[in-house]
Amino acid sequence: MKGAFRQSMGWLHTWTGLLVGWVLFFMFLTGTAGYFDTEIDSWMQPERPIVQNAMTATAAVDAGRQYLESNAPNAARWFIAVPSHRFPELRLFWRMSPDADGKRGRTGRARLDPETAAPLNYRDTGGGQLLYSMHWRLHYMPVRAAEWIVGVCTMFMLIAIVTGVIIHKRIFRDFFTLRFAKGQRSWLDAHNVLSVLALPFHLMITYSGLIFIAYVYMTPVITASYGTAADAQDSFFNELLRRTDGASPSGVAADLMPLRPMVLEAERQWGEGRVRFVEIRHPGDRDASVRIGHEWASPVRRPPTLTFNGANGELLRASDGIYSTPLAVRDVLLGLHEGLFAGPVLRWLYFLSGVMGTAMIGAGMILWTVKRRAKKGDAFGFKLVERLNVGTLAGLPVAVAAYFWANRLIPVDVAGRVAWEGHTMFIVWGVMLAHAFIRPSARAWVEQLWLAAAAFGLIPVLNGLTTDKHLGVTLPAGVWELAGVDLTMFAFGAAFAFAAIVLGRRGKTLKSGACHPGESRGPGPQARSRLDATAHGALDSGIRRNDGPIEGREVVRPNDRP
């Protein structure tokens, strides 16, 4: 009974991973890039000045207020993001009052130089934000449809993780077991090590991802309590998130009090340098309110705030950001998923864990084909999976690299520049998929891996030829957010080159004249075929006996974050 249970879990693990493996690979790859979305934004806008010292909170609110009073005096909401080391610019946001027909008012944004407070203008780019949004919006799709697809795939991922833990008899031993040049055994070891090494991260990121879009699947529950009116969901979220500062203005004019004393009071309570934003609702009205937010210092997604009366400066209330235990649990899970609170070291751990998760999915997909090649190598389903593996596991990284190339090569003044950066990525991915189906799979692997190595490895060279923010400048200046992008591209290029070299050297034992991933040197084609036919079943049973048959920024609600 126990063996039958583990075998059934093995079957479930295999097929839940296979059916959505390519979508999960895309989600993990683009989502992992999102942990350095701000750094990628800076790299993709080389016109940004290099800022060594961030503007103080008091100077920021003074400069921000002056700009907003001149450029958005009738706005219903002002938002001033205080500069920090990771976000050195002064970023401003405003929203006008709703239109007469009730539609939400138009919005505006501005970025100011933190030293001169002069407006900054950069090239339009999707930057890291576009990559981040791809991992749950999937691009080119209606948001709600993408949420359903991502949610189903995430549920499959959670099932695959849980069943993977169940079928491991020696889960801690797998942490230390990695055998090289052993064909199928090596791919199984790689899949196991990558799974176990970052298992807490995989569980957290998958479960919290489901929590992010739980309201999509629980709409009937919301409807049962709040009805089917057009504003039913808004009523639900207003109550859930305790939105109490959005009341209508009184219509009575009143001067807005100076913001500096309010910021100083916040710094007195929290400490200097702890203010993250200042939000003003209905500036110039008697019922104006000023809300000051604490920096992200923990996974709690709603940090402490102080709310002042904008007309007289009186402190109205202080909130610790925890309104109820269920909401606090939700906020912590979402905060852990986003990692916005993470410092440099923890952010790199997030990134490396995401890379391991991406590689784990890839190793599982390759393991599925390696295990079945001898018996099902000519089957249509096998060939389809094999070619999709090549075009996605090797081709998608090439497409992501092309996204960075497009940022440097598309002229700055081209209309629709942001869209064309994204188009370039998906056009290249389409070409890689076509290449995978045209070329013999063994050769396609090697060729696409070499292309990925060149595409990533030459990005720093392209950067040096097209901008003045290259490694020769950023390294001596200690601008690690820019230098880190270039160095990471070099590292990825070297990793893909290593994979291409290893794969190119291995085997030449199949009819294609080259090896597939997972094969090692051994007997000639005929002898190998007979050996596979007799040993394949024994190998599978051995794996079941020892390890189990293992094969392989967020849904943003209105006003949830600025």
- Is 90 strand, coil or helix? strand
Supply φ then ψ for residue 245, to 5 degrees.
-100, 15
> Encoding tokens for residue 503?
């794969």
> Encoding tokens for residue 79?
């938002």
Report how far apart, in Å, the C-alpha atoms of 174 and of each of 193, 199, 415, 520, 538 are. 6, 12, 52, 22, 21
Residue 370 pLDDT greater than 80, yes or no: yes
- The dihedral region occupied by 359, where left means phi > 0, alpha psi between -120 and 50, and beta the remainder, is alpha
Q: Give start and end residues of each alpha helix (H) in 72-142.
A: 127-137
Q: Which pLDDT score is estimated for 175?
A: 57
Q: What is the dihedral of CA 484, 488, 489, 494, to 10 degrees?
A: 140
* Cβ atoms 330, 340 nearer than 8 A: no
Residue 535 pLDDT greater than 50, yes or no: no
- 285 strand-pairing partners: 253
Q: What are the b/e assignments for 396-423, b being 16+ CB within 10 Å?
A: bbbbbbbbbbbbbebeeeeeebbebbbb
Give the span between the Cα atoms of 168 and 160, in whole angstroms: 12
H helix count then E strand count, the chain: 23, 7
- 248, exposed or middle or buried, with CB in 10 Å at 0-12, 13-18, 19+? exposed
Q: Which letter does DSSP use for residue 391 in this model?
A: I
Q: Which pLDDT score is estimated for 263?
A: 95
Q: Which amino acid belongs to residue 383?
A: K
* DSSP code string of 29-75: HHHHHGGGHHHHHHHT-TTSPP-SSPPPHHHHHHHHHHHHHHH-TT-
> Encoding tokens for residue 91?
């970023």
Q: Which amino acid belongs to residue 309?
A: N
* Cβ atoms 64, 92 nearer than 8 A: yes
* DSSP code string of 449-470: HHHHHHHHHTHHHHHHHH-S-S
Residue 3 pLDDT greater than 50, yes or no: yes
Q: Which pLDDT score is estimated for 44?
A: 96
Q: Which residue has the tokens 């933190």?
A: 114
Supply φ then ψ for residue 108, to 5 degrees.
-145, 155
Give the span between the Cα atoms of 547 and 167, in whole angstroms: 7
- Is 108 strand, coil or helix? strand
In this prediction, residue 558 has a pLDDT band, given cuts at 50, 70 and 90, of: very low
Q: What percent of the chain has pLDDT over 70?
A: 83
Give the span between the Cα atoms of 552 and 27, in whole angstroms: 17
* Domain ranges across the chain: 2-46+130-211+338-546, 57-121+243-321
Least confident of 122-136, 230-244, 523-537: 523-537
Residue 230 pLDDT greater than 60, yes or no: yes
In this prediction, residue 11 has a pLDDT band, given cuts at 50, 70 and 90, of: confident
- 472, exposed or middle or buried, with CB in 10 Å at 0-12, 13-18, 19+? exposed
Name the residue among 509, 516, 514, 152 with its Cα closest to residue 368. Answer: 516
Q: Which amino acid belongs to residue 414?
A: V
Mean pLDDT of the chain: 83
End-to-end CA distance of the chain: 54
Residue 153 pLDDT greater than 90, yes or no: yes
> Encoding tokens for residue 20?
């959505």
Give the span between the Cα atoms of 405 and 203, in whole angstroms: 34
Least confident of 76-80, 237-241, 396-400, 508-512: 508-512
* Tens digits of residue pLDDT in 172-219: 665 556 565 555 666 566 667 777 888 999 999 999 999 988 888 888
